[in-house]
Structure 1
Amino acid sequence: MAGRKILHSWLQRLHSPLPRVTARSHPRAASTHIPVKTTFLGKGLVLSSLLAFGYYRWKSRHAVVHASIKVEDITEQADYLYDSGDTEKLYEFLNKFNNSEDAEILWRLARASHDLARLSTTAPDMKKRLMYESRDIAQKALDINESCSPAHKWFGICLSGVGDFEGIKVKIGNAYTIRDHFQRAVELNPKDATTIHLLGLWCYGFAELPWYQVKIAAALFATPPSSTFEEALGYFEKAEQVDPNFYSKNLLYLGKAFLQLKKNEVALKWLHKARDYPVRTEEDKEVHKEATDLLKSLGEKF
């Protein structure tokens, strides 16, 4: 459970229509003239010529899609689609550029692959393929541009997702790498509240590990990952300072961290904020329920 908590940092968006990116015909193909014989014996040559011409035009249009669209156009379209919440269309759009050498395109494709893998409607075998694909694409983005903050963030998220398919030893073994990439992402972009929140979740998850899991980790590694609720709280507070009320789950975990530290009065403030946060996504609904349950357990009446 602790490892999985690292994974749930992304926000699902509202649906809206998607404008299409269309390719323009290649000018040379449009103006090409192919002489055609009209004799009966020439019909085979005519058909061959027409097929060749059609293939040339198709190849030309296909090439133009990749050559004429600027990176900025692709990323703008991808961001619009991401904000619309249509994960399948986003993946379909970005996957056309899976051979790109631009980190801005690739980290967005990694995010789309990861999010598609997380959909409940995605088949189990496809989930696994997409999750490994997302990790590899994020790694490629980093290979191209180590200074790309979102590439570090999404490599950490996708590597954590891969851990679900590789067992507890690999998951714990990857924990330091995941944390290091989150930290590097924040170093490159100190205003990224989401990644700061992710670091808080990383710390909170290891701070609340039950004793038997701690023993397993200690048996597998000389220095297993560990943290404290104070450290987790520091990240949650920092995320809130960077972007107040940006995420219902950050509000919830502020409350939970204060509860763990026996500061119930302060915890109540954040739990109320989490409960009252506008419900727009499935995750917001889950946060609302958990915050409400915690408040009730603390004697709050509604």
Structure 2
Amino acid sequence: MKKVIVILVVLLFNQLFSFEDYWQERNSIEGAKKAFETTREEFSKNQNDFEVAWKLARISHFYADNFVKDREEKKKILDLGKTAAEKATTLKPESPEGWYWLAVCLGSWGEANGVMQSLSSVKPIMEACNRGIKLNPEFEKGNFYMVRGRVFHKAPSVISVGDIKKAMADYEKAISINPENRTAYRFYAELLLEQNNKEKAKEMIEKGLGIPLNKENVLVENKEIKLLTKLKEKI
């Protein structure tokens, strides 16, 4: 009986203190904006809630990356996402969510703020990815490896951590964990084309295009299909 009461209390507590993040509505500009504004408002009221913090980082990145055209507004939103992710890592450093969204937000934040900021964000991105991999290498279906691979791929080798072999290894690891990671196939194909390995690049492109459409993430899926199709046309 006591066990039943405890379970009921926990369920009631979760219901009282949970919030609607509208993440499932993110594939339209209206839905993404509502999700962002709702989660931002919740974070302003309760900055010590781990779930709210990492979810704000997640929707800030998604909304800025997919819908926000104004550069200054995008920078502001990504900065908020970065701040929320950093907060999540301090609230629960043993959980991968904060580290993952910190790495992702830092990557887009660096790109939005120019070359120098992009270079300065390399170290904290790598630290976040390495920390996350130690905690849970299969979190987000292996996406820590994809993000770290992208850094190895795009960072300059002389003044930063750029390393093509390590990038390839991480892309392959991400794909081995999740063979339906369309973005990982695209990243890997881009790298292979840069290395003039057209045969293997074509293989990655075909595999990426052959993945069934994930309707829950249709906006990103369709963007990736277009990018893969453009890569295919280059071969």
Partner residue in 2 for 1:203: 152
Distance 1:125 1:296 in 2: 34
Q: TM-score, normalised by structure 2?
A: 0.76
| 1:282 shift after superposition | 4.5
Per-residue CA deviations over 1:181-229 (Å, capped at 9, x if unaligned) read 11211211111212221111111112xx5xxxx7xxx6xxxxx213222
Are 1:249 and 2:183 matched, yes or no? yes
In structure 2, give the amino acid aligned to 1:74: S
Give yes or no for contact 1:276–1:288 (8 Å, CA) kept in 2. no
Corresponding residue of 2:51: 104
1:74 aligns with 18
How many angstroms does 1:121 deviate by? Answer: 4.8
- What does residue 208 of structure 2 align with? 274
Q: Report if the CA contact (8 A) 1:139-1:155 is conserved.
A: yes
- Determine if the alignment matches structure 1 residue 130 to structure 2 residue 65: no
Alignment partner, residue 171 of structure 1: 118
1:240 paired residue number: 175
Question: CA separation in 1, counterparts of 2:60 and 2:125?
Answer: 18
C-alpha distance 132-89 of structure 1, shift in aligned 2 (>3 A): same
Matched to 2:178, the amino acid is D
Partners of 2:110 and 2:117 within 8 A in 1: yes
Shift in Å at residue 241 of structure 1? 1.4
Q: Report if the CA contact (8 A) 1:278-1:284 is conserved.
A: no
- The one-letter code matched in structure 1 to 2:185 is L
Tell whether the 8 Å contact from 1:229 to 1:261 is kept in structure 2 after alignment.
no
Report the secondary structure of 2:138's partner residue.
coil
Matches of 1:127 and 1:294, distance apart in 2: 27
8 Å contact from structure 2 (residues 111, 117) kept in 1: no
Amino acid at match of 2:207: K
Aligned residue among 1, 25, 36 for 1:84:
25
Given that residues 103 and 148 in structure 1 are in contact (C-alpha distance below 8 angstroms), is that contact kept between their aligned partners in structure 2? no
For residue 228 of structure 2, what is the aligned residue in structure 1? 291
2:109 paired residue number: 162
* Match in the other structure for 2:97: 150
Shift of 1:152: 0.8
2:39 to 90, 94, 98: 94
C-alpha displacement of 1:149 = 0.8
CA RMSD of aligned residues (A): 2.9
* Residue 134 (structure 2) pairs with residue 187 (structure 1): yes
C-alpha deviations, 1:248-268, integer Å up to 9, x for none?
121223333444455444333
SS of residue in 2 equivalent to 1:226: coil
Structure 1 position 290, deviation (Å): 3.8
Seen in structure 2, the aligned counterparts of structure 1 residues 289 and 92 have a Cα distance that, compared at 3 Å, is: closer
* Higher RCO structure, 1 or 2 (CA under 8 Å, sep 6+): 1
> Structure 2: where are the runs of 5+ without partners?
1-11
1:230 and 1:261 in contact (8 A); partners too? no
Query: Which residue of 2 is the match for residue 229 of structure 1?
Result: 164
Match of 1:14 in 2: none
More helix by share: 2
Amino acid at match of 1:241: S
Contact 2:103–2:147 under 8 Å retained in 1: no
Distance in 1 (alpha carbons) for counterparts of 2:209 and 2:188: 12
TM-score norm. by structure 1 comes to 0.61
- Report the counterpart of residue 61 of structure 1 in structure 2: none
Question: Shift of the alpha carbon at 1:108?
Answer: 0.7
Amino acid of the structure 1 residue aligned with 2:18: I
- Comparing 236-245 with 85-94, greater Cα deviation is found at 85-94
State how many pairs are aligned.
213
Query: Matches of 2:113 and 2:68 in 1, distance apart?
Result: 22
